[in-house]
Structure 1
Amino acid sequence: MTKDPYELVLDAIDRGEFRPGDRLVESELAERLGVSRTPIREALQRLETQGVLARDGRSLVVSALTHDQLGELYVVRAELEGLAARLAAQHAAPEEVRVLRELARRDREIVTRPELLARANKRFHHQIHLASHNRFLIQQLEMVHRSMALVATTSLAAEGRGPQALAEHEAIIDAIEGRDGDAADAAIREHISRAFETRLKRDAEKYLG
């Protein structure tokens, strides 16, 4: 099924084709996506309402998160991801755990390629969300990860972060497979905390240098 313009623009932002601060022009998007300007206009209005896009004069640009907004986002993400991991430990089918193991194995092959690893990381987390078997939680996590797309760079590009993140993924899988909800919750919270800390360090270094 063909995605609507709203989903297509969101996907482009998620893939980094449009970065925070980039201007989105209705006519250019219509030509690029091969659709009329009316559904593009509706899609942009919807994205503006959701905070994905912001007004800059008469133009719409991809939103950028402030330092405080980023912190707020990570707080919410940790809570929701922790719940997803806890529920996955209770409800994940053996097949779902094996899929997580396979994803982790494949990710080791791209550990030195941050952009690919960032996309694989989203896949891994989405699989945990699905394994929670809670549709309302999954919807909320989709909103959080949509906002994460507004962060211009990936923390996985930091030196040593890739291997560390994959080790953290293994700890999460171990806890889910062991049906230990507390451990799964703690492991994924630690994973997200490390990612946030890495991002803050990179931002501080950028400011200083």
Structure 2
Amino acid sequence: MVTMRPTRAPALGDQLAAVLRDQIVRRHLQPGTHLVEDSLAAEYDVSRGPVRDALRQLESQGLVESRRRGFFVVGLSQEDINDLYELRESIELVAVTRAIGRVSDDQLRIGREIVQEMIACADRAAAADFADADMRFHALLYRIGGNSRLIDVWEAYEPVFASLMQLTVEEDVDLHPSAHDHGRLLDLLEEGDADEIRAELREHLDGARSRMAHAVQALIEGAGEERAS
């Protein structure tokens, strides 16, 4: 008999950070926007404590900055996208290299279940669900690698990548190639070929970086046209 454990709902600060993060990434909140604690608390019907927690999270992720008059939106530039993916490639290459020889049958099974979930999402063009499964797949790679410091770095930036991921999968006409790419990574992990899996991961992340840059550029140009009109 399996005992089900109750899951804890995300803290209000985490929930608000997720909402604001998505608005910042999508440029609904433009760079330079002053985020006033009292106004946010009233808008989202929360106390100032969760608002402060959310703003501190976003500051640690480089999306807002604290000035003398409060917090202001920084947003994401193309240089930021490159920096984020340079960081991700560096740590994820280490994670998958460590994962070789460490992966268990149960972990492979979980990975294949996630890939099948991604294929099912692609079948019904469920972009948001696909993005969620994609992030869980990569989180699994870090857990298999077993380096707690790498996991800490990944978890610190995972929310930003999750928001960005939503943008790119929404642009993809067909999500099946991406799903199969993840299956290929899992096959290489099982085969234990370090050079092959590092090459495959680099190509995978380069493609993601390119699509991300295109999506962000479209948002920047769209925001510029909206201001000009």
Into which bin does the TM-score normalised by the smaller protein fall? 0.7 to 0.9
Q: Could you tell me how far apart the structure 2 residues matched to 1:34 and 1:101 are?
A: 41
Give the residue type in structure 2 aligned to 1:172: L
Alignment equivalent of 2:14, drawn from 7, 13, 19: 7
Unaligned runs of 5+ in 2: 1-7
Q: 1:34 to 1:45 in 2, by over 3 A?
A: same
1:77-96 alignment, distance < 5 Å: 77-96=88-107
Q: Give the structure 2 partner of residue 19 of structure 1.
A: 24
Q: Could you tell me how far apart the structure 1 residues matched to 2:9 and 2:170 are?
A: 33
User: Rg bigger for which structure?
Assistant: 2
How well do the aligned residues superpose, as a CA RMSD in angstroms? Answer: 3.2
Q: Give the structure 1 partner of residue 77 of structure 2.
A: 66
Q: Could you tell me how far apart the structure 1 residues matched to 2:10 and 2:213 are?
A: 35
Q: Could you tell me how far apart the structure 2 residues matched to 1:115 and 1:183 are?
A: 30
Is contact 1:85–1:132 with CA below 8 Å preserved after alignment? yes
Is contact 2:40–2:51 with CA below 8 Å preserved after alignment? yes
- Percent identity, please: 23
Q: 1:200 to 1:39 in 2, by over 3 A?
A: closer
Which deviates the most, 42-51 or 180-189? 42-51
What is the total number of aligned residue pairs between the two structures? 207
Helix, strand or coil at the partner of 1:54: strand
Helix, strand or coil at the partner of 2:197: helix
Unaligned runs of 5+ in 1: none
Q: 1:161 to 1:81 in 2, by over 3 A?
A: farther
Displacement of 1:34 in angstroms is 6.6
1:127-138 alignment, distance < 5 Å: 127-138=140-151
Residues 1:195 and 2:202 are matched in the alignment: no
Q: Give the structure 1 partner of residue 194 of structure 2.
A: 181
Residues 1:109 and 2:120 are matched in the alignment: yes
Q: Could you tell me how far apart the structure 2 residues matched to 1:188 and 1:36 are?
A: 43
Helix, strand or coil at the partner of 2:192: coil
Is contact 1:53–1:62 with CA below 8 Å preserved after alignment? yes
| TM-score after normalising by structure 2 | 0.74
Q: Could you tell me how far apart the structure 2 residues matched to 1:99 and 1:200 are?
A: 30
Q: 1:47 to 1:144 in 2, by over 3 A?
A: closer
Displacement of 1:199 in angstroms is 2.8
Which deviates the most, 28-37 or 42-51? 28-37
Displacement of 1:69 in angstroms is 1.5
Question: Using CA pairs below 8 Å that are at least 6 residues apart, which structure has the higher relative contact order?
Answer: 1
Q: Give the structure 1 partner of residue 178 of structure 2.
A: 165
| TM-score after normalising by structure 1 | 0.80
Q: Could you tell me how far apart the structure 2 residues matched to 1:38 and 1:203 are?
A: 31
Q: Could you tell me how far apart the structure 1 residues matched to 2:141 and 2:100 are?
A: 9
Q: Could you tell me how far apart the structure 1 residues matched to 2:20 and 2:132 are?
A: 13
Helix, strand or coil at the partner of 2:100: helix
